[in-house]
Amino acid sequence: MTLWILIGVTAAGSLYSMTRPPSLDGGWRAAWWFLLPSLIGFLAFFLIPMIRGIYLGFTDWNALSNSGEWIGPDNYTKLIDDAQFWNAMRVTFWYVIWNIGTQTVLAITIAVMMDRLTKSGTVRSLILLPWLIPNLVAGLLFLWLLDPNLGLVNDILGWFGLGPYRFLTSTSGVIPSLALMNTWKFMGYTALLIFAGLQTIPKNLYEAAAIDGATEWQMMRRITIPLMRPVLALVMVVTVVGSFQVFDTALVAGGGIAAGGIGGPVNASKVIYLYIYQNAFVFFDQGYASALASVLLVFLMIITAIQLRLFRANESDLA
Amino acid sequence: MTTINDIVGYGNRSARARMGRPLAWALLALIIVITLLPFVWAIRTALSTNPALLSGEFDFTWGNFKRVIGIASQEEIQESAGRVNTGELNFWTSLRNSVIISTTIAIGQVFFSSMAAYAFARMQFAGRDRIFFIYLSGMMIPPIITLIPNVIFIKNLGLIASLPGIILPFFLMTPFAVFFMRQFFLGVSRSMEEAAMIDGASHFRIFRSITLPMIRPQMITLGVLTYVTAWNEFFWPFVVAPAEESVQPLPVALQVFRTQTPGNSPDWGGLMAGTIITTLPVMVIFAIFGKRIVDSIRFTGIK
C-alpha cells in the first residue's frame, strides 16, 4: 500500500511540474525535483508509517502471517488489564526520574564550570566521548564495571567499606544502575548544549551583580537560570523524550551477564520499549505492540506539551 | 589601580574565589576521570587473559584482540580465553557491513537533504513553510511507532534481512538533516546565487556549481554526524536482520557475541576487545573531525 501511494504522489507531482508553463520564480515546477527524494523518504518512512502504526493498533496483525483484521478497540481494553504494561510504564518512569534528575544537575554543573573555568576545546572533546559510542557498547562496558564479583565499581566502593552491591542483578538496583549509565553517556553532550546557551547571556549582567555584592549562588539563581530557561526547556524536552526510549542498554545489561530473559531480574528492567519489542518480535503480536506504541506516542506528546508550558519555552526574560 | 575585572569575577582575587576555584577544578577533574575511566578499564581488561581477570589480576596478552578478529592460533585462544571454545564475533563481515551501511546512508542522506533544504531556504512555492513544519514535526515522532510499519514495508518490498533493507529508511532524508542544512542556508549570503540567476542560470545549475561548493564544510559536518549515528544504530538492524549474520553491522554482531558468552564464566577479555574494536572507527573519526562535531552541537542546539 505504501508503495502505491509513493508511486501515485511521484507520478502526479512529476506530471504537474512538467506540464506547468515555466514562470519567473519557478514555483513548484522547479522546487518539485529538489523536494522529491526527501518527500519520498518522509512519506515512506515517517508519515505513512506513523498513520499506519496507529491503524495497526486496532488490528490483530500477526508478524508470521503478515496479515491482520480490524478488531476495534480490543487491544486497548486488553492493555488496561495488562499488569505487564503497567509494570513497564512504572519501571520506565522510575528510570526517567533517576536519569533526568542526575543528568540535568550534572550537566548544568559541568556547563557552568566550563563557562567559568575553561573554554578549552580539549575538555569539551573529552566530556563528549561517551556520547559518541554506541548505546550497546556503553551497556557492555557497564555490564563489566558493575559486575557483582569482579567489577571495578564494587572494588572502588570496597575501599570505602561499602558493598559489594548487586547493581544489575537485583530488582531494586537495576533501574538506577541503567539510569546512571545513561547519565554517564549523555551528561557531557547535554552540558555542551547548556554551555552553548550560557554563551548567549550578556557578561555585563554578572559584572553588575558582582558590584552589588551578589554571591555565585545568587547569580546562578537570579541571572543564569531565568535567562537560560528557553535553552533548558529545549534540553529537557529532548532528554526526557529520549530517556523514555531506553532500549539498547536495558537489553544488553538488564539482569547482568547471566540474564536468561528480557528485562530481568523478574521484569524489574522491562522498560516499555523492551515490552513493545517483545510483543512485536518475540510473541509476533504486532497489533498489540502497535497499540502499546500508540499509547506511548500520545503519552510523550502530553509530556512534551506540559514541559513546554511549564517552562514557557517561547518567551525569554532577556527581552 | 583597581579595574572592573578585579572587582568582578573573571580572574577574581577575592577570598571566596580563592577557595572556590581549586574546588571547582577538582570537581571538573573528577568528572573527566569518571568520563574516561570506563574506557581505560575496558582497554586494560581487553589486554589481559581471562583466567587472570577471574582472580583479579592482570596478565598481558594480545590474544583477546586476535580472537575477536579471528586471527588467533589455538594456543592463543586457550591462553587468553582460558578455554578452547569461545563465542565468535563475526568481525570482518560485520565491519564490512557497518562500513557499507554507514557510508551509503551518510552520502545519500546528506545529498538529498541538502537538495530539500535548498528548496526550503531559496525557492518560493505554495505551502513551503507548511511542508517544512510537517517535516520538523517528524523529528518528534518516536521511532517505536514507525518501527513495525517500516518492518512490514521492508518485508513487502522483499528486502528483509538485506543491506538495502537496513539502509533504505535513512537513505533519502531525516527531518534533522533537512533542518540542519536549512538552518545553514538561511545564514549564508545569497548574492552569488542571485547574480547567477540574473545571468539566467537554472536552479539546478546554481545548486551544482555555486551552492554545493559553498556549503561543503557543512555537508562534511553533517556527513560525519550521520556516519557516526548510522554506525551506532542498533535497534533497526537488530529487528530487520535478527538472524542474518551476513548483513549484521558491528553493534548487532556484538550483541550476538554477548549472548554466546557463558553466564557463569563470562569472556570479559573478549567482550571488551570487541567493544573497543567496534568503537575504534568512531574514535578515529572523532580524532579527525572532533572540532566540527563539538561546534555543530552549539550550532544545532541554539538558534
User: A82: pLDDT confidence band, cut at 50, 70 and 90?
Assistant: very high
ipTM of the complex: 0.90
Share of chain A above pLDDT 70, in %: 96
The secondary element (H helix, E strand) that includes residue A241 is helix A225-244
User: A23: pLDDT confidence band, cut at 50, 70 and 90?
Assistant: low
- The torsion angle over the Cα atoms of residues B143, B145, B149 and B154, rounded to 10 degrees, is 10
Cα(A253)–Cα(A247) distance, integer angstroms: 10
User: A107: pLDDT confidence band, cut at 50, 70 and 90?
Assistant: very high
User: For residue A161, what pLDDT is reported?
Assistant: 87
Mean pLDDT value of segment B236-240: 95
**Taking a C-beta distance cutoff of 8 angstroms, is the pair B171, B106 a contact?**
no
Tell me which of A226 and B43 has the higher pLDDT. B43
CA B189, B190, B191: angle at the middle one, nearest 5? Answer: 95
Taking 70 as the threshold, does the pLDDT of residue A186 lie above it?
yes
Residues of A in contact with B126 (CB under 8 A): 27-28
Cα(B220)–Cα(B292) distance, integer angstroms: 9
Name residues whose C-beta falls within 8 Å of residue A29's C-beta, 6 or more positions apart in sequence: A16, A17, A20, A22, A23
Cα(A300)–Cα(B253) distance, integer angstroms: 31
User: For residue B139, what pLDDT is reported?
Assistant: 87
Residues of A in contact with B170 (CB under 8 A): 45
Mean pLDDT value of segment A252-266: 84
Question: Considering CB atoms only, which of A50, A215, A304 is closest to B146?
Answer: A50
Q: Tell me which residue of B47, B102, B122, B94 sits closest to B276, measured CA to CA.
A: B47
If DSSP states are collapsed to H, E and C, what string results for chain B? Answer: CCCHHHHHCCCCCCHHHHHHHHHHHHHHHHHHHHHHHHHHHHHHHHCECHHHHHCCCCCECCHHHHHHCCCCCHHHHHHHHCCCCCCCCCHHHHHHHHHHHHHHHHHHHHHHHHHHHHHHHHCCCCCHHHHHHHHHHHHHCCHHHHHHHHHHHHHHCCCCCCHHHHHHHHHCCCHHHHHHHHHHHHCCCCHHHHHHHHCCCCHHHHHHHHHHHHCHHHHHHHHHHHHHHHHHCCHHHHHHCCCCHHHCCHHHHHHHHHHHCCCCCCCHHHHHHHHHHHHHHHHHHHHHHHHHHHHHHHHHHCC
Taking 80 as the threshold, does the pLDDT of residue B82 lie above it?
no
User: A224: pLDDT confidence band, cut at 50, 70 and 90?
Assistant: confident
User: For residue A318, what pLDDT is reported?
Assistant: 60
| Residue A59: strand pairing partners | A70
Mutate to test the interface with B, among A28, A35, A307 (most CBs of B within 10 A): A35
Residue B266: Cβ-neighbour burial (10 angstroms; 0-12, 13-18, 19+)? buried
Q: Tell me which residue of A107, A100, A239 sits closest to A176, measured CA to CA.
A: A100
Cβ pair B148:A142 closer than 8 A: no
Name residues whose C-beta falls within 8 Å of residue A101's C-beta, 6 or more positions apart in sequence: none
Cα(A163)–Cα(A148) distance, integer angstroms: 9
Backbone angles phi, psi at B200, to 5 degrees: 90, 15
Per mean pLDDT, which range of B14-18, B184-188, B293-297 is the poorest? B14-18
Shortest alpha-carbon distance between residue B267 and chain A (Å): 10
Radius of gyration (C-alpha) of chain A in whole angstroms? 25
**Taking a C-beta distance cutoff of 8 angstroms, is the pair A263, A92 a contact?**
no
Over chain B, what is the mean pLDDT?
Answer: 86
Q: Tell me which residue of B175, B156, B178 sits closest to B165, measured CA to CA.
A: B156
User: For residue A317, what pLDDT is reported?
Assistant: 64
Question: Considering CB atoms only, which of B56, B118, B148 is closest to A53?
Answer: B148
| Residue A67: strand pairing partners | A62
Write out pLDDT tens, residues B85-99: 667 788 999 999 999
Cβ pair B153:A49 closer than 8 A: yes
Tell me which of B238 and A264 has the higher pLDDT. B238
User: A52: pLDDT confidence band, cut at 50, 70 and 90?
Assistant: very high
Taking 50 as the threshold, does the pLDDT of residue A15 lie above it?
yes
Task: Scan residues 104-133 of B and list those with Cβ closer than 8 Å to A.
Answer: 112-113, 115-116, 118-119, 123-126, 128, 131
Cα(B16)–Cα(B22) distance, integer angstroms: 11
User: For residue A22, what pLDDT is reported?
Assistant: 62
Cα(A104)–Cα(A98) distance, integer angstroms: 10
pTM of the model: 0.90
Write out pLDDT tens, residues B179-210: 999 988 887 778 888 888 888 888 888 888 88
Buried b (16+ CB within 10 A) or exposed e, B150-167: bbbbbeeeebbbbbebbb
Neighbours of A303 (CB within 10 A): 15
Nearest CA in chain A to B34: A184
Cα(A212)–Cα(A223) distance, integer angstroms: 13
Could you give the C-alpha distances from A242 to A205, A271, B122, in angstroms and in order?
Answer: 34, 13, 32
Cβ pair B301:A297 closer than 8 A: no
Cα(A301)–Cα(A237) distance, integer angstroms: 10
Question: Considering CB atoms only, which of B8, B279, B290 is closest to A137?
Answer: B279
The secondary element (H helix, E strand) that includes residue A210 is helix A203-211
Write out pLDDT tens, residues A123-154: 888 999 999 999 999 999 999 999 988 889 99
User: For residue A231, what pLDDT is reported?
Assistant: 84
User: B238: pLDDT confidence band, cut at 50, 70 and 90?
Assistant: very high
Residue A314: Cβ-neighbour burial (10 angstroms; 0-12, 13-18, 19+)? exposed
Residues of A in contact with B283 (CB under 8 A): 129, 132
Question: Considering CB atoms only, which of B7, B274, B291 is closest to A211?
Answer: B7
If DSSP states are collapsed to H, E and C, what string results for B185-251? Answer: HHCCCCHHHHHHHHCCCCHHHHHHHHHHHHCHHHHHHHHHHHHHHHHHCCHHHHHHCCCCHHHCCHH
Per mean pLDDT, which range of A181-195, A284-298, B9-23 is the poorest? B9-23
Share of chain B above pLDDT 70, in %: 91
Question: Considering CB atoms only, which of A40, A134, A273 is closest to B278?
Answer: A134
Q: Look up residue A147 and give its amino acid.
A: D
Taking 50 as the threshold, does the pLDDT of residue B110 lie above it?
yes
Mean pLDDT value of segment B273-290: 91
User: B13: pLDDT confidence band, cut at 50, 70 and 90?
Assistant: very low
User: For residue B301, what pLDDT is reported?
Assistant: 47
User: For residue A313, what pLDDT is reported?
Assistant: 62
